[in-house]
Amino acid sequence: SLVAIYGGRGLVRVNRDSRLMWHLGERVHHDLALLPSGQILTLGRRERLMESLNPRKPVIDDEVLWISADGQVEKRVSVLDALLQSRWASDLRDLRPLVGDVLHVNTVEPIVDPPPGAHPAFQAGRVLCCARNPDWLFVIDPQTQRVEWLARAEWRGPHDPRLLPSGRILLFDNLGASDRQTGPASRVLEYDPLSDSITWQWQADPPSGFFSLFCGAATRLGSGNTLVTETGNGRAFELEPGGRIVWDFHSPHRAGTDGALVAGLFEMQRVPLEKMKWMER
């Protein structure tokens, strides 16, 4: 079967014959993950008038949702409430403007099997999230319904944090390589939560040769290479640890004057050939 988000308006599951199995009318957005339990972890959102943040205008509250295999909401955790109940409540209140899409959470990364030596906050059952607007990475504990770890470093407008076997975090940094003279540029980096430092990064030469204003993804492969999706330019490529590009894909499906337009390529994934045998049936 296939689980899909559509347009911030719902979540659906269809079978292999494209027949609808169920529909969930939540404002699901951006990301989902299938848990070993069979549950679906995803993001929802709603508008709230929160006196402690803005007594006159509503804010958008992102929610972490746990959905059963048959499409029922089993648990929801408000990200704003989780922040307000944490030691970073003042950081939230200091954000400006406190109206509308304050956080813009774009990632839910379940922590299923924390690697040895990982930061103590990265415990099984918790969720690693990314908030683009304030440039935050944070961990939510669904039991305490509280943010238990939060970091902000030199990245800007980030997407898609992935917890690595080393305990570090791989991150697509959308604007962190930008410069006033050379223009907007993206990079991929590794961040160590224990030392609060960036331990590895890659950007193009010149930096403007790699840029996605929105989305973007990076996955560490078993070989040690990194698979990168440059969403805004319809591009994907694979990097060796030293930064050499192994292969480079540019979508050929373009439109507009002189082929200036290309559809966003949201995420490329490497799939072992043996897992595709069902397509031969």
Average pLDDT, the chain: 95
Q: pLDDT for 194-236, tens place per residue?
A: 999 999 999 999 999 999 999 999 999 999 999 999 999 999 9
Q: Residues 6 or more apart from 152 whose CB is under 8 A from it? A: 134, 135, 136, 137
Q: pLDDT for 103-126, tens place per residue?
A: 999 999 999 999 999 999 999 999
pTM of the model: 0.94
**Quick one: tokens of 117?**
């030596």
Specify the 3-state DSSP secondary structure of 278: helix
pLDDT at 276: 86
Q: Is the dihedral of CA 129, 176, 183, 91 positive or negative?
A: positive
- Cα of first residue to Cα of last residue in the chain, in angstroms, is 15
Q: pLDDT for 243-256, tens place per residue?
A: 999 999 999 999 99
